[in-house]
Structure 1
Amino acid sequence: MNYLVTGGAGFIGSNLVHLLVEQGHNVTVLDLLTYAGNLDSLADLEGRENYVFIKGDIGDASLVSEILRDRNIQGIFNLAAESHVDRSIDGPAEFIKTNVMGTFVLLETVRSYWNGLKPEAQGTFKFLHISTDEVYGSLGDSGLFTETTAYAPNSPYSASKASLDHLVRAYHHTYGLPTVTTNCSNNYGPYQFPEKLIPLVIHNALAGKDLPIYGDGSNVRDWLYVMDHCKALATAMEKGIPGETYNVGGNSERTNLQIVHTLCDLLDSKRPKASGSYRDQRTFVKDRPGHDKRYAIDASKIKQELGWTPEETFETGMEKTVNWYLGNHDWVNRVTDGSYRMERLGLGDVD
């Protein structure tokens, strides 16, 4: 298959591109290479006959149209988005511009391309929109997000993603565009920009810096190993029913404090300090505005209808993640060198 992956130089995107290339698909990556997009994450794919990288914006209709035609694209994984909650609080305009307007232009361009395909090609084409569980808002101490949970976004970021989910749905029901939406829980693993909690804790711990934790650290997330998520996306592209939504979760609820403790303990065993524990570097800071208390995904639909389940447990996924960052610390240093307000990364966005 000939796939276009937008945002393919980002965290989830780069892992997905590696998976698709290894599966033998022809993969074209379109990425603007903003702060979270990094070609270092795709460097080992250079020279592969079934991989092409193009720097560009999903809001550039002429460029996207040219790619779709010239590369004979048969499916799109749309991962292009601004995704940092704290950044959306500080500057929501960029999130509306990229996440909402950019994806609107992309949908319009794809619709025009799809309308021009022969009927047999139209029938196999699919637009997979990758979203987040944050669109559902915050859970109490019990219950799970399902595909029918009412939307209640609490940050500019999640509001922008919620609007996209509705827009993608509308393009299916109004124009017949074969769209599928997935809403995932918190991802972790290789190639994640160190503004997110897990890579940030590893980076700061090894650098001897504080490990700031919002509030009392009791906020809960369902954690999903990134390659498990990528395999779910490949499954949704292959088997997903147009017009449907599938929630993807890791069945691994943990508080932020538990995450920090797990990372500190793994680092204590794998890269021990001269004295004391990495836990000694913990510090609790003022909670951020609109911080959702708990997210948790019910992934039974994708399991029952498409046959996907996560392969990694929380323990195996976390160990793989720590091992990767310990073995690729130069990558972290390169992607953070001169990055946008690197000093702000002391606050470890968990979402």
Structure 2
Amino acid sequence: MLKSARKQEKQDQRAKDAEGRMPLVEHLRELRNRLLKSVLAVLVITIVAAVFYKDLIAFMLKPMLDSVGCIDGVVSQRNGRPCADMTVNGLIAPFSIVLKVSLSAGVVLSTPVWLYQLWAFVAPGLHNHEKKYAVGFVAVGAPLFGAGAVLAYKILPQTAVILLEFTPDNARNLLPVDDYLDLVTRMVVVFGLAFELPLLLILLNITGALTAKRLASWWRAMVLGITVFAAFATPTGDPLTMMSLAAPIVALYFIALLVCWLNDRRRARSNPDAELDDDEASEVDLTPAEVGAVEAVPAPSALPEQADGGRQRINGYDDAT
């Protein structure tokens, strides 16, 4: 009975306002519910990932061990370069590593869920024909986040090689596993969210908050901002690592620009006034309804001639004007 009453209440609310408008309290309640669902999805997948912890930690450590790992923990050089021993320090460290690995897997693997919840929170403000893009939003957003995570996973070995080049002679590197996992998690989240930039721009364009013309005018600032972001997001900041992150995001930005341009063209075809500025009026159709309805407009009658102080006025004005 309680569920049916709540369902009927929601239907009544939607019937009152078909456009999805709701007061601030309802928006906050909706945001709370969406966040709870997202957190619950992350929590469930985190618990499942904890069961397969050993396989996950082996997968995350493999590229680092293959590139800079010391052989048998004894050799201080690997292929003529410094290497690092993966270590676990402290009694609680193994348990914290389990939590970090499981949580990282939960955030990445639950991407379709929290992306859909994000779209569902925005969807009430959209038109009915725009809500159909929900499936496409999730279908594109999840692979984009995954692509960013994979890129971070591939960049890490090269990053480690560059950083270990600064090791002093006759020194041995000890790389704590928990510090390494913090770096992996940060890079995966940052790279994954950075790859969501084009989806955010397209979402703003669909909602009407951003036009392709305005987005195109920002291309220089966007390229510069993406480059600066890549310089801070990558641990080393070397040109190779920085460009490996900046180049895909710039390419995705221009792809998003193309999609926004096509969407604006679609809107323009259905709305003849779409290209007008806010302060520009549309053309007025002055064509008469009937051809025979055209009548000559009589000329204004002239004012009588007036004399003022000896100066003659014609049509109310003196000869000087």
Q: Do these two structures clear the TM 0.5 threshold for a shared fold by scoring above it?
A: no
| Structure that is richer in helix per residue | 2
Larger Rg, first or second structure (1 or 2): 2
| Structure that is richer in strand per residue | 1
If the length of structure 1 is used for normalisation, what is the TM-score? 0.27
